């Protein structure tokens, strides 16, 4: 009995990290753009979608060619998005930026739904069962095996490792390179950074480029897991990652990554502990938790104003709210 519960805990832990990895990667990219230019990028989901489609078209090239091509195409698309749509509205208000990103997202998604590439009729959003409907999962990646009572697949392990490598790479990039310093400076205060000689176009393009690489990674890991390819494939993970980013504290890069993992844990914990009749309402409770976090800890879990617990305690002691959320 004890062994059972312990391995259960490990199972939930493993699953939480697996989901959390996706959310962390997406939240991180969203947070990067939000920090640098105040943009909540709806069109990020379409980058994932574009990655999934690229994989579909290159699925016969072997996994290495497929992965390289996906990274290349998604990164180029991300840079193009910035050049065509976001550069002209760069100085507009966040709401305008948000609506612009919605328009970009909407346009690209509609392009995928239409018959422009002669594809639409070939896809539906069901999980791929045949070669026509998506990328067939590699069995050696997705087969689960038993490690001390915990079921994991090679893909899960690969996801942990790739996420770990990408996160570590991001940390190195941000801490050790000139570009990283420029990015961090721009997140702090964009105008001031420009005054000290940081070139706006370069920094923002770089941020979009990094976002593209991360989106490609998410697309590859996601499609290898499920095999499904559909025009709205990016939307679900995107919403979840929005929320993860806010939980961690938008604009704070470590916070975003942490928020992704925390959200993965919340969703998993809720689906494990809720009584069976409420299980279908997991998302409902998860989003209630999100609202509670937003109201009680408005700056997220990681913030310059001290740890979340200390800020929460301060807030509880002095009921009238002292701090206003980053408006």
Partner 1 sequence: MTALRRVEPAARVVWPPLALGAFLVVTWALVDGFGDVVYKDTAVRLFLTLIIVLGLQIFSGNSGVLSFGHIAFMAIGAYMSALLTIPPEIKQFTYLSMPSWLGYWILPAKLSPLEATLAGAGAATIFALITAAPIVRLAGVEAGIGTLALLVIVYVFDVQTSAITRGTSTQIGVPKTTTFVAVLVWALIFVAVAFAFKESRRGLRLRGSRENLRAARSVGVRVPIERAIAWVLSGFVVGVAGALYGHYFVTFGPDDFFFNQGFNIVLLTIAMLVVGGMTSVTGAVVGCYFITVIYEAFRRWEVNGLGGVTPPSGTANFVLAVILVVTLVLRPKGITGGREIPWPGDWSFTSLRRLARRAGPPGEQDAVAAESPK
Residue choice 219, 221, 229, 250 for contact with partner 1 (CB under 8 A): 250
User: Is residue 68 part of the contact set for partner 1 (CB under 8 A)?
Assistant: no
User: Is residue 95 part of the contact set for partner 1 (CB under 8 A)?
Assistant: yes
User: Is residue 80 part of the contact set for partner 1 (CB under 8 A)?
Assistant: no
User: Is residue 161 part of the contact set for partner 1 (CB under 8 A)?
Assistant: no
Tokens of 275: 């009584």
Residue choice 102, 119, 179, 272 for contact with partner 1 (CB under 8 A): 102
The 8-class DSSP code of residue 147 comes to: E
User: Is residue 312 part of the contact set for partner 1 (CB under 8 A)?
Assistant: no
Closest CA to 49 of 233, 284, 224: 233
Spatial contact of 145 and 152, defined as CB atoms under 8 Å apart: yes
Q: Give the helix ranges, DSSP H, for 88-138.
A: 94-113
From CA 75, how far away is CA 86, in angstroms rounded?
Answer: 15
Tokens of 31: 């947070």
With vertex at residue 229, the alpha carbon angle to CA 114 and CA 84, rounded to the nearest 5 degrees, is 55
CB of 284 to partner 1, least distance (A): 4
From CA 135, how far away is CA 55, in angstroms rounded?
Answer: 7
Phi, psi of 43 (to 5 degrees): -70, -5
CB of 194 to partner 1, least distance (A): 17
Taking CB under 8 A as the binding criterion, the range among 62-70, 96-104, 129-137, 157-165 that sits at the site for partner 1 is 96-104
CB of 181 to partner 1, least distance (A): 25
Select 99 or 272, whichever has its Cβ closest to partner 1: 99
From CA 93, how far away is CA 39, in angstroms rounded?
Answer: 9
Taking CB under 8 A as the binding criterion, the range among 72-80, 141-149, 197-205, 291-299 that sits at the site for partner 1 is 291-299
With vertex at residue 243, the alpha carbon angle to CA 142 and CA 31, rounded to the nearest 5 degrees, is 90
CB of 177 to partner 1, least distance (A): 28
Tokens of 207: 């941020």
Select 157 or 290, whichever has its Cβ closest to partner 1: 290
Closest CA to 74 of 234, 237, 212: 212
From CA 47, how far away is CA 81, in angstroms rounded?
Answer: 10
- Residue ranges in 175-234 that form contacts with partner 1 under rule CB under 8 A: 231-232
Select 30 or 55, whichever has its Cβ closest to partner 1: 30
Rg (CA), the chain: 20
Residue choice 17, 28, 40, 233 for contact with partner 1 (CB under 8 A): 40
Q: Give the helix ranges, DSSP H, for the chain.
A: 2-37, 44-57, 63-81, 94-113, 139-142, 154-176, 178-188, 190-195, 200-226, 235-248, 253-273, 282-296, 308-317
User: Is residue 119 part of the contact set for partner 1 (CB under 8 A)?
Assistant: no
User: Is residue 239 part of the contact set for partner 1 (CB under 8 A)?
Assistant: yes
First to last CA, the chain: 51
CB of 124 to partner 1, least distance (A): 12
User: Is residue 146 part of the contact set for partner 1 (CB under 8 A)?
Assistant: no
CB of 193 to partner 1, least distance (A): 21
Tokens of 325: 């959320």
CB of 288 to partner 1, least distance (A): 7
Tokens of 229: 């390819």
Residues that bind partner 1 (CB under 8 A): 34, 40, 42, 85, 88-89, 91-96, 98-100, 102-104, 106-108, 110-111, 113-116, 120, 231-232, 235, 239, 242-243, 246, 250, 280-281, 283-284, 287-288, 290-292, 294-295, 298, 321, 324-327
């Amino acid at each position: 009995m004890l062994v059972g519960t312990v391995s259960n805990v490990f199972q939930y832990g493993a699953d939480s990290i697996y989901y959390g990895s996706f959310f962390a990667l997406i939240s991180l990219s969203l947070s990067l753009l939000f920090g640098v230019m105040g943009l909540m990028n709806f069109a990020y989901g379409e980058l994932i979608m574009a990655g999934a489609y690229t994989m579909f078209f290159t699925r016969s090239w072997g996994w290495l060619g497929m992965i390289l091509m996906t990274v290349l195409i998604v990164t180029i698309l991300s840079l193009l998005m910035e050049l065509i749509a976001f550069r002209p509205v760069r100085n507009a208000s966040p709401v305008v930026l948000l609506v612009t990103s919605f328009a970009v997202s909407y346009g690209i998604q509609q392009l995928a739904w239409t018959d422009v590439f002669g594809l639409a009729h070939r896809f539906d959003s069901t999980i791929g069962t045949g070669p026509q409907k998506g990328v067939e999962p590699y069995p050696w990646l997705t087969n689960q095996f038993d490690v001390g009572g915990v079921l994991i697949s090679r893909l899960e392990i690969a996801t942990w490792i790739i996420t770990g490598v990408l996160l570590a790479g991001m940390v190195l990039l941000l801490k050790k390179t000139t570009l990283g310093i420029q990015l961090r400076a721009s997140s702090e205060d964009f105008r001031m950074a420009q005054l000290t000689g940081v070139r706006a176009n370069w920094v923002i393009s770089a941020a979009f480029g990094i976002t593209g690489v991360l989106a490609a990674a998410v697309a590859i890991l996601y499609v290898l897991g499920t095999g499904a390819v559909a025009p709205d494939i990016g939307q679900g993970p995107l919403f979840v990652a929005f929320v993860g980013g806010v939980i961690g504290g938008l604009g704070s890069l470590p916070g975003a990554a942490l928020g992704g993992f925390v959200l993965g844990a919340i969703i998993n914990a809720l689906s494990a502990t809720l009584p069976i009749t409420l299980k279908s309402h997991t998302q409902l409770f998860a989003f209630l938790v999100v609202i509670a976090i937003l109201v009680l800890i408005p700056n997220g879990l990681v913030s310059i104003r001290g740890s979340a617990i200390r800020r929460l305690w301060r807030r509880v002691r002095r009921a009238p709210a002292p701090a206003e959320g980053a408006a």
